[in-house]
Chains A and B, each alone.
Chain A
Amino acid sequence: MANDTKFRNRQFKSVGTRPPRPDGLDKVTGRAKFGADTFAPGQLIGLVLRSPHAHAEIKRIDTSKAEKLNGVKAVITSKDLPDLTNGDRDLYDTLENCMARDRALYDGHAVAAVAAIDAPTARKALKLIRVTYKLLPHVTDVDEAMKPNAPLVQPRVYTRGVSPKPKSPSNVAKVSEFGHGDVEAGFKAADVVVEKSYKTEQAHQGYIEPHACLASVGPDGHGELWVTTQGHFIYRNTCASLLGMEVAKLKVTSSEIGGGFGGKTHVWMEPIALALSRKANRPVKLEMTRDEVFRSTGPTSSTSIDVKIGVKKNGKITAASAHLRYQDGAFPGIWAMLGAMTAYACYDLKNVKTVGYDVLVNRPKVAAYRAPSAPMAAFAIESTINEVAAEIGMDPVDFRIKNAAKEGTKSSYGPTYGPIGIGPTLAAVKKHPHMRAKLEKNQGRGMACGFWFNFGGETCTDLNIGVDGTVTLTVGTIDVGGARASLSLIAAEELGIPYESVKCNITDTGSLGHNDMTDGSRGTFSSGMSTIFAARNAIEELCQRAADTWEISVKDVVWDDGKATAKGKKHKKLKPLSLDELAGGSPNTGGPIAGHSQIVADGAGVSFASHICDIEVDPETSATKVVRYTVVQDAGKAIHPDYVEGQFQGGAAQGIGWALNEEYIYDENGRLQNPGFLDYRVPVCSDLPFIDTQILEIPNPNHPYGIRGVGETSIVPPLAAIGNALSDVAGVRMTHVPMSPPRIRKAIKENQA
């Protein structure tokens, strides 16, 4: 019963309320400590030298002058990071990405690093390092990279997922296929078939806090790392493996994280900091500049997608297919695979086939960005869905409702759905006042749907009850969006005590068992579940203490509303014992009272959303402004509604920026032209309207509270919602994201011609 994951419908007392978050005070006073906010006595400043070339052989690195500079305490190259990966391909990729070995693979690829007594000395030292490069031909475009005579990015990579196994290496790292039924037959049976191709440019998560860490490693193999990260346990494992350290001897403490969105689930320069510290035998502080964040961390893929949808005049889709080509940067990933999985997830299709191509190019190693790979696929599919609806003269919302997935639908990526929110969000959109609001001159309206899986994963939680009855909840899942508040609410709910009596701490890797990183919207889902089980575990102990105090059988004790009660007529005279009382008496009843949970959280629910967007376009300049935006999304159960709304709004804003202006711009030499916030244009405050939100709650049957992860889905619909709104106002189908004014202008003029 204690570890029962089944959803049970109940009235909540704490869950669903909106108390202030526990980390709020520190964050509004400047006291909260982020990655760059700590200092160690005797610390050195680390800086990284990076390749300015997209693809080059590293013939020689002469560090002698840098080493001799006064104040320089360590200089490293890949020689100081020997290959200990033991055949683990993914780990070797991480090693090579941390620091180039024989070739620089993208503009920004690390080639050497220094640690010195201060930043000016470190900068001087970097300038004294002489790298001899031999330039190689490069490729940065995903379609170009697939051509037969494209420059080869990784000679050790052979295409996976094709039969027979290929004999020569390729830039196509992986081919993945999903679907069921017979699309050929389905297209033949269609009355109308629409085929369209789309391109999306590369975007970055754009977190305001650059990566930063403070590493301290001693010659005894013990080390500490303070770092901004979404997964300090993962970072510990990876860094220990790369440096040949023992996992238990590397203690990683996570700072507050200044945004991650998936970009801080992977190590970038942390192993370098540790290697510098080990060589210098002093703490090394390493902060990335904004320029380095754009060039040398993990943006999302740029893509090229072909979509084909066949439909009957009555609006039923008969077949749907997609070819999705995603670039992974210079190292293989699963990004096209994820795109192929999510593309048609919103729909109930008899015949569907998606094929994903993961392609290597001379760009940084792609990392996850909030519902990774889904926004681009959704842009392509949801734009085409509108085209198809228009061809048969059907309203785009009604068309989606007619084809929406529901409980029992076999998804396009395999599993069969339980109760899901796509239908409800579409119904809610149809009824929403936004759909009936008057549009002004030069304004248009569009809507689109989105989907994201949620993940479970390894989670470990401690719950300790203090002698005054207040509760310490110790978790290992990083708080990216208010998790400490939500988890405190959950603990308070289970124990039946006030929210204010719970303090949630995120602890270091030395104090708790392994916790997977905060990604896949798993934070509240997994840690929430683990918190519930830890609380129930503590309740078992509390009931035992009550039973011992009363000298009755523990079978006769129930926990309700923060108290242990003896049930049954024979125990009528026994007054209930509150948590405070039991805590106070704990030194005499057996010592500290605690609960623990370690699980692999399973049964994560999927989360669907539908968005509505009104856009205004200047008819002469194509200047574009979002004037109204509504997010409707299924949260399963909103533990803290303010933070659920915040996730909806934040994801939508990122999607809007990506749809309108955000893109990586490379020149013909493969150099990134806009590695800064001036020309990588994220939305500013005056770009956006208020973002309305509607939280739907279709409980996840596999979670005690019905929680679904909410953090990611909201970035999925905006690209297509805006594309569809532009189609409405300007009469053009935009097929290239971002849909910036010069592109819109060009499309309008081509349409007029």
Chain B
Amino acid sequence: MAGTFVSTKINGDQTEFVCQAGETLLEVLRNRLGLTGSKEGCGTGDCGACSVTLDGRLVCSCLVLGVEAQGRKVNTIEGLADGDALHPLQSNFIKHAALQCGICTPGFLIASKALLDRNPNPTDEEIRFALAGNLCRCTGYDKIVRAVKATAKDLRKK
């Protein structure tokens, strides 16, 4: 079956690829574009490890077809830092020990950024519900929530 040619923007860079119609955006990112920062934890939208933003909206890339990226903007974990300047979320995750094994971390960072972009002063409960779509099995979420809170505070100061 002939593939489909897709032209899109990934982390601000013009990107083109060919994929089969049935391939997910996650499969395209990882297997065709080498962007392995987004992870497959379940493939069915239950764990959030594959979280990216699509035209600024937080989505599970395992539930988006690669062909749907045509003409749209995709942002992944690889684009979160600005060159060698980490995003405050990234530095705070390290500082607050908000990661152990790290497999869920890219998904949490993307989801946390999506939260803080729309709600710069979230309550603890708002943080927890906004991140309910991201599973972590190592931390019990405690230090993750603290890192997001601290970042919200840091960003509000700026």
**Quick check: do A and B touch in the complex, using CB within 8 A?**
yes
Q: Which of A28, A31, A678 contacts B99 (CB 8 A)?
A: A28
B144 near A: Cβ within 8 Å?
Answer: yes
Flag if B81 contacts A646 (CB, 8 Å).
no
Flag if B44 contacts A20 (CB, 8 Å).
no
B97 near A: Cβ within 8 Å?
Answer: yes
**Chain A residues with CB below 8 A from B102, complex form:** 23, 26-28, 32, 256, 258
B86 near A: Cβ within 8 Å?
Answer: yes
- CB contact under 8 A between A649 and B46, given known A30-B78, A481-B100: no
In the complex, A685→B94 CA distance in Å?
19
In the complex, A208→B136 CA distance in Å?
7
**Chain B residues with CB below 8 A from A690, complex form:** 142, 145-146
Which of the 9-residue segments A574-582, A650-658, A698-706 touches chain B?
A650-658
A404 near B: Cβ within 8 Å?
Answer: no
**Chain B residues with CB below 8 A from A69, complex form:** none
By beta carbon, the residue of chain A nearest B102 is: A27
**Cβ contacts A192-208/B at 8 Å (1 or 0 each):** 00000000000001111
A339 near B: Cβ within 8 Å?
Answer: no
**Chain B residues with CB below 8 A from A31, complex form:** 37
Among A37, A260, A650, A691: residue with most chain B CB under 10 A: A650
- CB contact under 8 A between A677 and B47, given known A208-B135, A685-B128: yes
**Chain B residues with CB below 8 A from A642, complex form:** 96-97, 143
Q: Which of B101, B131, B140 contacts A652 (CB 8 A)?
A: B140
By beta carbon, the residue of chain A nearest B138 is: A650
A24 near B: Cβ within 8 Å?
Answer: yes
Flag if A653 contacts B140 (CB, 8 Å).
yes
A676 near B: Cβ within 8 Å?
Answer: yes
Interface of B is mostly: loop
In the complex, A642→B93 CA distance in Å?
12
A11 near B: Cβ within 8 Å?
Answer: no
**Chain A residues with CB below 8 A from B122, complex form:** none
**Chain B residues with CB below 8 A from A676, complex form:** 42, 44, 46
How many residue pairs at the A-B interface have CB separations less than 8 Å? Answer: 173
Interface of A is mostly: loop
In the complex, A309→B30 CA distance in Å?
56
Flag if A258 contacts B78 (CB, 8 Å).
no
**Chain A residues with CB below 8 A from B20, complex form:** 120
**Chain A residues with CB below 8 A from B18, complex form:** none
- CB contact under 8 A between A686 and B97, given known A27-B102, A120-B20, A290-B42: no
By beta carbon, the residue of chain B nearest A681 is: B46
Chain B nearest CB, measured from A693 CB (Å): 9
- CB contact under 8 A between A29 and B42, given known A649-B143, A686-B125: no
By beta carbon, the residue of chain A nearest B129 is: A686
Chain A nearest CB, measured from B72 CB (Å): 20
B132 near A: Cβ within 8 Å?
Answer: yes
**Chain A residues with CB below 8 A from B80, complex form:** 29
In the complex, A36→B103 CA distance in Å?
11
In the complex, A21→B46 CA distance in Å?
29
A189 near B: Cβ within 8 Å?
Answer: no
- CB contact under 8 A between A28 and B137, given known A208-B103, A676-B44: no
B139 near A: Cβ within 8 Å?
Answer: yes
Flag if B42 contacts A685 (CB, 8 Å).
no
B61 near A: Cβ within 8 Å?
Answer: no
**Chain B residues with CB below 8 A from A39, complex form:** 31, 34
List B residues 1-57 near A (Cβ within 8 Å): 20, 22, 30-31, 34-44, 46-47, 49
In the complex, A682→B42 CA distance in Å?
13
By beta carbon, the residue of chain A nearest B93 is: A28
**Cβ contacts A204-216/B at 8 Å (1 or 0 each):** 0111111000000
Q: Which of A28, A29, A256, A259 contacts B138 (CB 8 A)?
A: A259
**Chain A residues with CB below 8 A from B100, complex form:** 480-482, 643, 646, 650
- CB contact under 8 A between A29 and B37, given known A646-B143, A682-B137: yes
In the complex, A546→B94 CA distance in Å?
39
List 15 A-B pairs, Cβ < 8 Å.
A25-B86, A25-B94, A30-B76, A30-B77, A36-B30, A208-B101, A209-B101, A256-B103, A482-B100, A646-B138, A649-B139, A677-B47, A677-B135, A684-B132, A685-B127
A-B residue pairs, 3 tightest by C-beta = A30-B37, A258-B103, A27-B102
Using A28-B86, A30-B36, A30-B37 as known contacts, list a sample of 10 further A-B pairs with CB atoms less than 8 Å apart, ordered by residue number in A.
A26-B102, A28-B109, A206-B137, A642-B97, A643-B100, A646-B138, A650-B140, A676-B44, A678-B44, A690-B145
Interface residues of A (CB under 8 A from B): 18, 20-21, 23-34, 36-37, 39, 120, 205-210, 256-261, 287, 289-290, 480-482, 642-643, 645-646, 649-650, 652-654, 676-678, 682-686, 688, 690-691
Interface residues of B (CB under 8 A from A): 20, 22, 30-31, 34-44, 46-47, 49, 76-78, 80-81, 86, 90, 93-97, 99-106, 109, 125, 127-129, 131-146
